[in-house]
Every structure is written in structure tokens, then in C-alpha cells.
Amino acid sequence: MRCILCYDSRREVKAKMKIDFDWLIMMPLSFLYIGIVFYYVKYKKRKVPYIIVFTLFFTYMAEVLKYTQFPICLNMDMEELNRQCVNYIPFHFLSIEDVETFVLNIIITVPFGFLVPILYKCDWRKIIVSGILFGAITEIIQAGVEAFVGVNMHRIDINDVIANFSGVVIGYAGYCLLRILLEKIFKNGNVKIECEKYLSDFCFLERYY
């Protein structure tokens, strides 16, 4: 997932055109966000807390898209892909930077594992599947862009899939711990608090289903 520029050792690769994460990408995403929010409010009767969390989730996913897929450099001079940009060996690190990238990829997927169970009904099995798919789909898209464009700006690495999965699991564990903690805080002893309303609004948003 790390942004790099691979090139043939015999000659430097010069991109003729670069597609960046600018207004041409953000505008369609904005319309998509508005459409989804409209659907949730009008047809699913979602309330403000749900929309707030969904907005955070949508913004987060947009940032992940920006980090993992952009910029895309179009290059017509590249005859073949540089195989050094692909790693199929788990936990094979070539440098300290690779280790740092592995840790970073864990960190950036923690919010996914934390926010998804807040927004949608899902158990640990679905979280595991979504964690695997998150990393796999990201790498597949990168491979597709690489094959179509002919130059690799992102390293395709099995370690990214492992790191993404780990981050999702950690995020889900954090969600579960927070849920248990809030239950204990607001249901402790004889303290009379409208905890059900509080929890349903800010933690257990899946109860809106």
C-alpha cells in the first residue's frame, strides 16, 4: 500500500499524465455521500447520531482511497511491470521502511473495525470476512490499475493484506471493549440513568434496524 515509484533500472520512467485525488474525484464522492445520506434519512429514518458516525466513516474511507490508490500515473513508455514492486511472501520485509509501512497499515484500518459494527449489524465472523476483503480488494484494485496503466505507484504486498486484517480486528476489539465499558458505567448499581437511549444513540446504532 506504500506509495512508491518503480522503474526499470535501465531507464527512468517519466509519467505523461498523473491522476490525483482532486476535485474531479472528490465531486463524485460528494454526490455519492449526499445520495446515501438522503436515502438513510428519508427511507431508513436514521437519526442525527447515525448520520454523524456515517459521515466520519465515509470521510475515513475517502482518505483510505486517497492513500491507497492515488496518485495514478499514466505512462505509455513502460513496457513491462517491475516485479520488485510485488511481494507474495508474508512477513518479508526488505527494510525498516517496510516495517513502518506494515505498522501504518494496521493503524489506518483500526477505524474500519471500530465504526462498521456501530453502523451495521455484524458479529465477529462478518468482521473477520470484512477484514480479509478490505485488504484483498485494496490490493486487487492496485493490481488492476497497475495492469491498465503500466506503471506501479503502489507496492502490491501480501503484508498489506495481513496488516489490514489485523487493524480491522483490533478496531473491532476496541469497539467491543467500549461497549462493555459503557454498559458497566451506565448500568452500575442503583444509578438511574437513561442508559438505553444514550447507548442506542451513540454506541449501539445498529439497534435502529
Tally the domains of the chain: 1
pLDDT of residue 145: 76
pLDDT of residue 72: 75
Domain that includes residue 107, residue range: 17-80+94-208
Query: Is it the case that residue 199 has pLDDT exceeding 60?
Result: no
Q: pLDDT for 92-106, tens place per residue?
A: 777 788 889 899 999
What would the mean pLDDT of 131-141 be, rounded to a whole number? 89
Has residue 154 been placed in a domain? yes
Non-local (6+) Cβ contacts of 68 within 8 A are 1, 138, 141, 142, 154
CA-nearest of 133, 104, 101 to 116 is: 133
Has residue 144 been placed in a domain? yes
Query: Is it the case that residue 205 has pLDDT exceeding 60?
Result: no
What would the mean pLDDT of 8-35 be, rounded to a whole number? 73
Structure confidence at residue 175 as a pLDDT band (50, 70, 90): very high
Q: pLDDT for 49-66, tens place per residue?
A: 899 999 999 999 999 998
- Lowest mean pLDDT segment, chosen from 32-36, 84-88, 129-133: 84-88
Query: Is it the case that residue 133 has pLDDT exceeding 50?
Result: yes
Q: pLDDT for 108-125, tens place per residue?
A: 999 999 999 999 888 889
Non-local (6+) Cβ contacts of 175 within 8 A are 113, 114, 117, 118
Structure confidence at residue 16 as a pLDDT band (50, 70, 90): low
Has residue 55 been placed in a domain? yes
Asked whether the beta carbons of 18 and 71 are under 8 A apart, the reply is yes
Q: 151: how many CB neighbours lie within 10 A of its CB?
A: 22
CA-nearest of 22, 25, 47 to 37 is: 47
pLDDT of residue 158: 87
Q: 55: how many CB neighbours lie within 10 A of its CB?
A: 12
What would the mean pLDDT of 136-162 be, rounded to a whole number? 77
pLDDT of residue 151: 59
Has residue 200 been placed in a domain? yes
Query: Is it the case that residue 192 has pLDDT exceeding 50?
Result: no
Has residue 71 been placed in a domain? yes
Has residue 195 been placed in a domain? yes
Q: Which helix (H) or strand (E) holds 66?
A: helix 48-69
Has residue 121 been placed in a domain? yes
Has residue 11 been placed in a domain? no
State the average pLDDT for the chain. 78
pLDDT of residue 13: 47
